[in-house]
Structure 1
Amino acid sequence: MEPVTDLTQYGDALHRDPHPVYARLREQGPVHRVRLATPGGPWETWLVVGYGEARAALADPRLAKDTARIGEVPLDEQLIGKYLLTADPPQHTRLRGLVARAFTMRRVEQLRPRIQQITDELLDDMLPRGRADLIGSLAYPLPVTVICELLGVPQVDRAEFRKMSAEVVAPTGEDSERAATVRFAEYLTELIEDKRRAGPTDDLLSDLIRTTAEDGDRLSPQELRGLAYLLLIAGHETTVNLIGNAVLALLAHPAQLAALRADTTLLGAAVEETLRWDGPAHNATYRYAAEPLEIAGTRIAQNEGVLVGLTAAHRDPARYAEPDRFDIRRDTGGHLAFGHGIHYCLGAPLARLEGRIAIGTLLERAPGLALDGEPGEWLPGLLMRGVRSLPVRW
C-alpha cells in the first residue's frame, strides 16, 4: 500500500507557500497518496505534482468527472444541477457545444471597451485616496461587474452574489458552504424564470435560454442553472486572483516591474508568467479513475480520486528552468492554468483580456505603485490561490 503523505500537518502554510512542500514531493516522485484538510474533515486522494504527468492526466479520458457513476454526487451538483466540470462525453460534448454557440470569441472581444470603461471608473474612484486594498477596489469589482453584466445579473443582486460565491469557492465550514449553495440554486432558478418571462434581451443567459442546435436540442432548466452557476463563479473568481497575484508578484520583483514599465509590450507575457508562477487555480477540479490505470508507474485503482496539482506542476524544473524565478520574459508555453484537453477553460480569453486591461491601466495611472503592508491571508482550501486583500499605495 502506498504510504500517505499527511498535508494537514502544514496547516495554513500550505496556502501561504505550498511550493517547498510540492518541491519535496516532486523529488520523491510525480504522484503521491496524500491526506488533505477539508471543511468536512481529512480526506485522502492521489495528487499529481509533476508537469508531464499533470498535463497527460488532464487529457486522460480514463480520469472521469461525472462522480454520479460512482455514487458520489458533489454538493453543488446535488443542489444546482449538472454542469461542464461534472460531465463526461457525450454529455459534456453536448453541453459545451451549446454554450460555445453563445459564448464566442467575438462576444468576448466586443467587451473590450466596456472592460476598459469599468477599469477606468474603478481607478477614478480609487486613485485619489492614495492607498487602497487592490482586491476590494479593483481585482474583485472589475471581473464581477463584467460577468454579471454579461450574464444579466441585476446590479441590486451583486453584493449577495459576492457572499454566496466566496463561500462556495473557499468555504469557511461545511454548513456554510451548503447554505450558500442552497441560496445560489434558489437565486439562479428565479433569475432564469425572470428572463424567460421578460423575453429576449442581449445578455448571455438570455441567449443560452434561446440557443438551439441544428437538431433542435436545447438546454433544460436544470442545465441552464448549472451553466449559469459555473459561468458566474468561474467567470470571476479566477480573474480576481489573476489580477491580485500578478500585481503582488510584480511589486515583489521590482526589476520585473521596471522591465514591464519600460516595455509595455511585455504585458501579455507578464500575465502568462503570473498564470504559471502563481496562477489563480491551485489544483484542477476533482477527477476519479473510471478504470484501473497507472500514472508514472503508480497504480490507481478504479473509482479512486485524483487531484491534478496545477501550482505544483508549474514549478517542475523538468519543464521550466529555474521554476521559482518570476521572469516575465520566460517562454511559458504549455502552462496549465486554464487546464488542458476537453475541459480547457471556455473563459480563458475573457480572463486574459480583463487581466491585461486591469494591470496595464493600473501601472499606467499609478506610476508610484508599491505595497502598503503585508498581503492578507491566502484563501483557504485547495481550489483557488490568491490573497483576501492586497494593500497598496502610490
Structure 2
Amino acid sequence: MRSLDPLDLYEINDLLTDEERMIRDSVARFVDEKALPLIPKCFEEGRFPSELIPEIADMGLLGSSLEGYGCAGLNAVSYGLICQELERGDSGLRSFVSVQSSLCMYPIHAFGSEEQKEHWLPKMAAGEVIGCFGLTEPHGGSDPANMKTRAKRDGDDWVLNGAKMWITNGTVADIAIVWAMTDDGVQGFIVEKDFDGYAARDIHAKMSLRASVTSELYFDNVRVPDANRLPGVTGLKGPLSCLSQARYGITWGPIGSAVACLREVLDYSQERELFGRPVAATQSAQIRMADMARRITSAQLLSWRLGKLKDAGRIHPTQISLAKWNNVRMAIDIARDCRDLLGGAGITLEYAAIRHALNLESVITYEGTETIHQLAVGRELTGHSAF
C-alpha cells in the first residue's frame, strides 16, 4: 500500500494541470527562499517586506488573473494556488497581492476607460505603481450602503470628502481606488497620492497582520478629475464585485496558513519527547492532527471546486461566502491548536503557529466577517435576508 502525503491526503495535486503545479511550485520556492527568512523579523518589527515587491512583480503575481496590459492571464485555480503559497508564508504577503490584483487592478480592468487601463495596469503589473482600496469606513465595514464618503460634481472635477479605515497598503500606495456616494449612487475614483487634501496615516499597535501596512485615508475637499472616475459602473455592484474577486483568493490563502502550521507541528511532535516517547506517538496528539488533516482536505476540495466554477463562469457569491467562512474558520482553529501542541515554544516567533493565528484574526474579519458570510448562506437557503 502506498503512503500518502500528510498535507494532501486526497491527492489534489493530481487534479492540477502541469501549468498550475509549475506556478504553485515557483511561488512556493519564492516563499521558502526569499520570504520566510524575512517574515518573522518583519512581523516582530511591524513592517511590510517591501524589498520583495520587485520579485513578486517579476514573477507575474500582480494582476495575474487579468488579460492583457502586461498581466499574466492565468486561470482561477492558478491564482488560488498563488494565494495559498503566499499565505503559507504570511497573510501580509497574500493581502498585498490580493489588494493590488483583485481590489485595485481588477476594477480598473473591469470598469475603467481604455485610457485608464493603458495608463495604470502595466505599471501596476510591474510593481511600479501600488494601489489600495478604499471602501470600509470608521463607523463600520459590514454595511457599505451606509457610506459617508461623498463626491460632488464640480465642473470637470469631483470634490471628495470623507474617510476610510483599515486600508491595506494605504501609506505605500501611489493610488487609491475610492468608493464614494454621489447624487447618482456609489461610484469609484482613482485618487492619486499627490492630490491636495488627500492624506494616509498608518494604524499602529496592531497585534495582527504586523508584516502588512494598514492605514486610514482622509479626503478633505480632494479635487479629482472626471478622467479619474471609473465610468463603467454605478452602485454597490462595483465594490462588491471587487470583494468577490478578493474573497475568492482568500478561500485559498488560509489553506496555506493551515498547512504551514500542521507541517510544523508534525515535525515538532516527532522530535519532542514526553514521558519516554514522542508526542507524535500519543493518541491525543494523533487525534488532533488527524482532525486538522480532515479539515484541510475539505478546504482544499472546496477551493479547487470553486476555482473550476470560476473558470467556467458559473461562480456565485454565496459559494464564495461558504468557502471563505469554512476555510478561514478551519485555518484559525488549526493555528490555535497547533500553537497549543507546541507548548511553551508555540508563543515564540521561532515557530509560525502564533503568527498565523494572530494574522487569521484579521482574515476572519475583513472582506466580510464570519457572521456576514453565514448570513449570506442563510439568505440563499431561506430566501429571507436577516441582515
TM-score class, shorter: under 0.3
TM-score (norm 2): 0.24
TM-score (norm 1): 0.24
- Whichever structure has more strand as a proportion of its residues is 2
